Amino acid sequence: MPPVAFACWSILGFLTTGALAIALGRSTAATRIIYGAALIVSLLALVSAATTLLQGSVPASVIALPLGLPWIGMHFRLDALAAFFLVVINLGGALASLYGLGYGRHDREPHRVLPFFPAFLAGMNLVVLADDAFAFLFAWEFMSVMSWALVMAHHRDPENRRAAQPGLDRGCSI
């Protein structure tokens, strides 16, 4: 399997984990299951990207999926630079998932975070792999919305509400 195909499958794994979080709802085991699954997918993606990176001068791996614009699709590319950033992103994702396994037990409303965490990791991976303008813009906006949802998960905190509204109280205009 080409490395970029494995990366796309890992993104699908993150998205499936997010959907599973919605299905589990307020289950007491949801935190362990979702953060555990995100940890496994992150580690698999990390190992795959590190292997690609350590192979040296391997030609870029490219895939086109029939998504997005008609007759054009979405194009994804995995080269040495993308592999490096996938290592960084998935190492951070694995560490955050490991941390979430312990920290998430104390969250009063984990169902507000769990669907968005693996989806955010999928968006981060998509941004790095995007090989055309449409794929990049879609991935960037998806990642941004998931990031906003993670910030707003604790919407009762005024600091979080202010952080989710760019430009307010900072002298900037929107």
**pLDDT digits 0-9 by tens, 101-121:** 887 776 776 677 788 999 999
DSSP 77: E
- Predicted confidence at residue 113, as pLDDT, reads 78
Return the exposure string of 131-143: e unless at least 16 CB atoms fall within 10 Å of the residue's CB, then b: bbeebbebbeebb
User: What pLDDT does residue 62 have?
Assistant: 81
pLDDT of residue 142: 94
Q: What single-letter amino acid sits at 13? A: G
pLDDT of residue 67: 83
Share of the chain above pLDDT 90, in %: 49
pLDDT value for 156: 63
The answer to whether the beta carbons of residues 90 and 78 sit under 8 Å apart is no
Within 10 angstroms of residue 67's Cβ, the number of other Cβ atoms is: 11
pLDDT for 126: 95
Q: Give me the pLDDT at residue 166, please.
A: 64
- Give Rg (Cα) of the chain: 17
pLDDT tens digit string along 44-98?
A: 999 999 999 898 766 778 888 888 778 888 899 999 999 999 999 999 999 999 9
Q: What is the pLDDT of residue 102?
A: 85
Q: Is the pLDDT of residue 127 over 60?
A: yes
Indicate the pTM of the whole model.
0.84
Residue 141: its pLDDT value, please? 94
Q: Which of 24-28, 32-36, 120-124 has the lowest mean pLDDT?
A: 24-28
